[in-house]
Amino acid sequence: MWGPGDIGTWGPWDVGSWGHWDVGDIGAWGYWNVGTWGHWDVGTLGCGGVGTLGRGDIGKVPASSILASAPSDRNLDAWRDLGCRTTHCNLEVLQESTLVFLATKPHILPGVLQEIRPAVGPQHLIVSLAAGVSLQKLQRLLPAGTKVLRLMPNLPCVVQAGAMVFARGEGASDEDAALLQNLLSSCGLCEEVPESYINTHTGLSGSGVAYVYLFAEALAEGAVKMGMPGGLASRIAAQTLLGAAKMLLESGEHPAKLRGDVCTPGGTTIHGLHQLEKGALRATVMNAVEAATQRARDVGED
Binding residues for NADPH: 90
How many separate helices (H) and strands (E) can be counted in the chain?
Answer: 11, 9
CA 17/CA 126 separation, integer angstroms:
19
Residue 206 CA to residue 8 CA, distance in Å, equals: 10
Q: Which residues are annotated as a binding site?
A: 90, 103-106
Residue type at 75?
A: N
Report in angstroms the alpha-carbon separations of 188 from 140, 158, 163, 191, 294: 31, 10, 6, 10, 25
- 42, β-bridge pairs: 23, 66
SS3 assignment, position 43? strand
| Percentages (nearest 5) of helix, strand, coil residues in the chain | 50, 15, 35
Q: Which of 134, 136, 90 is nearest to 114 (CA)?
A: 90
Residues 6+ apart with CB under 8 A from 202: 3, 4, 131, 152, 292, 293, 296
Spatial contact of 196 and 142, defined as CB atoms under 8 Å apart: no
Rounded distance between C-alpha atoms, residue 299 and residue 266, angstroms: 47
Residue 185 in contact with residue 160, Cβ under 8 Å?
A: no
Burial category of 227 from C-beta neighbours within 10 Å (exposed 0-12, middle 13-18, buried 19 and up): exposed
Residue set of the binding site for NADP(+): 103-106
Tell me the C-alpha distance between 10 and 30, whole Å.
Answer: 6
